[in-house]
Chains A and B, each alone.
Chain A
Amino acid sequence: MTDLLYSEEEEALRAAVRDLLTDHCAPADVIVRTESDAPHDVRLWKTLADGMGLAGLLVPEELGGQGATHREAAVVLEELGRAVAPVPYLTSAVVATEALLECGAGDLLAELASGTTIGVLAVGLHTAPGAGFPVVRLEGGALHGELTAIADATVADVLLVPADDGGLYAVPASATTITAQVSLDLTRPVAHVALEGVRGAHRLGDAEPAVRRALHAAAGLLASEQLGVADWALTETVRYLKERKQFNRPVGGFQALKHRLAQLWLEVVSLRAAARAAADALATGEDTDITVVVAQAYAAPVAVRVTEEALQLHGGIGMTWEHPVHLYLKRAKADSIAYGTAGTHREALAGLTGLQAP
């Protein structure tokens, strides 16, 4: 039976990541950083990668990784979501890593696992697992083309680029022109990538299965990030409403608000079960397809709703730039498009369960 709890080791991992983020990733600093030229926190990334070896969680030990499973990666993502940490964990340590695992690209995997190299799959963040994706042209041994909405590309060292010959190519970021796009989610910005005749790119393997596997794992684990985002928003809102007084009493004592918060709690509890189920299914390989689409179809609307409610229930302060709730709302909304919308996942579910459209 699916194990939906957290093991002691997983709780220890959570505590370590949370401590680190408490010390090094305060919301106020994240806000300041988003307005600079370098929205990513590269130092934090190095600490997570060098200090804790998190970049290599999903990489087998013989390739320099930790040989852990998606269950542990999910716990890390919960905490990173709770801090809206601007680090390329999901994009490099999960998505690019899964693509490389599919291609058996040992050397590059080892580099990603050590955190010395940041890898990014050059497929738009909005792409659902199994959906079509743009490719670049391979002409006379050189890659040409433009790709958009590539998450975390501005901090990438290497891009994994699908080409029209069906191959996936490793392209050094320095060989391309990467332009940050003005992004809704300030903590996971997307970029435009131009390849103007890149020669000598290494062919890693077939793009189709690698991209499919990468996006499938991404969709499943994204639910854990969304859980972290939603959990922060609920916890913070409850805390605030116990303190905030109007009409001579804490506003959290008014039943209309208590019921809304209790309802959100129920959704977060359910999201936790769905996210755990997806992480466990990815780890064991059992019943993965349905569990992942269920988690993704459920997670996005919940994370968006909880962050929207958090903003509303904070009143005026919630609308300000200085209060971090907007970071979470923006992340939740961008996440609701990332790796396929809830509707796209429901359509996939219809196919998997024989519940076809009219």
Chain B
Amino acid sequence: MTNAEELICRTRELLKEHPPAGTARLDFLRARFDAGLAWVHYPEGLGGLDAPRSLQAVVDAELEAAGAPDNDPRRIGIGLGMAAPTILRYGTREQRQRYLRPLWTGEEVWCQLFSEPGAGSDLAALGTRAVREDGSSSGTGGAGGGGDWVVNGQKVWTSSAHLARWAILITRTDPDVPKHQGITYFICDMTDPGVEVRPLRQITGEAEFNEVFLTGVRIPDSRRLGAIGDGWRVAQTTLMNERVSIGGMRLPREGGMIGPVARTWRERPGLRTHDLHQRLLKLWVEAEVSRFTAERLRQQLAAGQPGYEGSGMKLAFARLNQEISGLEVELRGEEGLLYDDWTMRRPELVDFTGRDAGYRYLRSKGNSIEGGTSEVLLNIVAERVLGLPPEPRTDKDVAWKDLAR
């Protein structure tokens, strides 16, 4: 229904009514959401206008030129990239109304309570239990009962849990069926009693992820996403979007990790060697090609063509970040022996490109683990895209409670 000119008009109207210079940041973001200019492909009333996804770029350009504040997508990546598309697809009317606006404006940060000590790559093996209070909950299907759910278990590697107001959570609700079937998906209030977040210090010195202990946490049934026992399907939406949102960012030329190393090369001729030159040029080419590939993925998504490039983009992004940041540490020579700051902190954002080369090198090691390891993504490409035979399995028809642990 909406074309580029209409969107530009609407954006200018918004800017006129809420001039960025004289409007508080949050007020502007709320007004932008209410005008349907937050994510234009979302439905009307939920921050969008049912417009083609590709037209978001038109709005963004217009707002950027006017110096409007943005919603700092880096800080709220999990909410934007993963929780939002899942709530949009599986949420009830009330859930969409309640969660999407503060999610988008960044007033409420989200985290993802998926991984467990015993369930990482094999996520469907998860054991965090949710039991309906009246005890009649374990059966699949039906919305019967009505009591709250009581959750007990432990999650791990939870990025931003220390900042989050809400979490997307998957739990085991039926241990008597095979592991992919008895899973139910919830929205968990991180401020509830029984939710305990403990920092996990990581390789970079700081703690951007956490352990989360859930002890008798009560979640009302109105915060269930999707049907009882259907959580694995709901989680697929989250995971697919996670990969696209990690690897498919729009960047200008030299916009990713290649930018800082190219600048150092230009500014500091004394550091140059022939070996580093060859590696730099090769990585520059690959970074540029990966930018085109991500753009092609976005164009396919916008045109409604299914793109499997999502998993591929994440694979490429991880490898490139690791190689480029590794090269940069070497390029810096004596300075590469130093590190900017080992202080234990709990940072507000997951920072892939900021800070020094040494930090970038260490942080990028997580890129091939978080959001599905590169090995698991290669399996997905091989099986789903290329149609190669699946790995032999011994767990498919076994009830979760009978699996060897």
Contacts from A to B (Cβ < 8 Å) = 1-5, 238, 241-242, 249-250, 252-253, 255, 257-259, 261-263, 265-266, 269-274, 276-277, 290, 294-295, 297-298, 346-347, 349-350, 353-358
Contact = CB atoms under 8 A, between A and B. Distances in A.
B279 to A, nearest CB: 10
Interface of B: 57, 253, 262, 265-266, 269, 272-274, 277-278, 280-282, 284-286, 288-290, 292-293, 295-296, 299-300, 303, 305, 309, 312, 315-316, 375, 377-379, 381-383, 385-392
A1 B303 contact: no
A4 B312 contact: no
B295 A4 contact: yes
A4 B299 contact: yes
A355 B266 contact: yes
Contact of A276 (B296, B375, B382): B296
Nearest to A358: B272
Contact of A269 (B312, B375, B383): B312
A110 B392 CA distance: 61
Contact of B389 (A2, A253, A276): A253
Contacts of A257: 388
A355 B281 contact: yes
Contacts of B305: 5
Given A238-B388, A273-B293, A346-B282, A262 B378 contact: yes
**Which of B280, B299, B315 has most A Cβ within 10 Å?**
B299
A298 B284 contact: no
A100 B108 CA distance: 63
Contact of A294 (B289, B383, B385): B289
A346 B285 contact: yes
B274 A259 contact: no
Given A238-B387, A266-B316, A273 B292 contact: yes
A1 B55 CA distance: 12
B315 A266 contact: yes
**Which of B253, B288, B290 has most A Cβ within 10 Å?**
B288
A186 to B, nearest CB: 29
A276 B297 CA distance: 13
Contacts of B391: 253, 255
Contacts of B385: 262, 265
A255 to B, nearest CB: 7
Given A238-B387, A357-B277, A5 B303 contact: yes
A274 B388 contact: no
**Which of A241, A259, A290, A295 has most B Cβ within 10 Å?**
A259
Contacts of B390: 253
Contact of B288 (A265, A266, A294, A347): A294
Nearest to A294: B288
B325 to A, nearest CB: 17
B176 to A, nearest CB: 31
Given A274-B289, A346-B282, A350-B277, A242 B389 contact: yes
Contact of A4 (B253, B282, B292, B379): B292
Nearest to B303: A5
Contacts of B378: 258-259, 262-263
B14 to A, nearest CB: 23
A270 B289 contact: yes
A259 B389 contact: no
Contacts of B296: 4-5, 272-273, 276
Nearest to B285: A297
B309 A269 contact: yes
B208 to A, nearest CB: 28
B274 A358 contact: yes
User: 9 closest pairs, A vs B, by CB?
Assistant: A253-B389, A258-B382, A262-B381, A358-B272, A273-B292, A4-B296, A273-B293, A346-B281, A262-B378
Contacts of B292: 2, 4, 270, 273-274, 276-277
Given A3-B299, A265-B385, A358-B272, A349 B316 contact: no
Contact of A2 (B289, B295, B388): B295
A161 B7 CA distance: 55
B295 A355 contact: no
B238 to A, nearest CB: 22
Contact of A298 (B272, B285, B300, B312): B285
Contact of A355 (B265, B290, B300): B265
Contacts of A356: 269, 272
A261 B383 CA distance: 10
Given A253-B391, A266-B315, A358-B269, 16 more contacts: A238-B386, A253-B388, A253-B390, A255-B391, A259-B375, A259-B378, A261-B388, A266-B312, A269-B309, A276-B296, A298-B285, A346-B281, A346-B285, A349-B281, A355-B284, A357-B272
A3 B299 CA distance: 8
Nearest to A296: B285
Given A262-B381, A355-B280, A358-B273, A273 B388 contact: no
Contacts of B299: 3-5
B400 to A, nearest CB: 25
Contact of A358 (B277, B288, B290, B387): B277
A133 B281 CA distance: 26
A266 B389 CA distance: 18
Nearest to A280: B292
Nearest to A277: B292
Contacts of A241: 388
Contacts of B303: 5
A298 B286 contact: yes
B291 to A, nearest CB: 9
A356 B272 CA distance: 9
A297 B305 CA distance: 29
Contacts of A353: 262, 284
A271 B286 CA distance: 10
Contacts of A355: 262, 265-266, 277, 280-281, 284
Nearest to A234: B386
A274 B290 CA distance: 8
Contacts of B281: 297, 346-347, 349-350, 355
Contacts of A294: 285, 288-289
A294 B385 CA distance: 27
A28 B278 CA distance: 40
B386 A262 contact: yes
A242 B273 CA distance: 46
A265 B285 contact: no
Given A346-B285, A349-B285, A355-B266, A258 B383 contact: yes
A261 B273 CA distance: 34
Contacts of B269: 356, 358
A322 B37 CA distance: 60
Contact of B293 (A269, A350, A354): A269
B266 A270 contact: no
B308 to A, nearest CB: 8
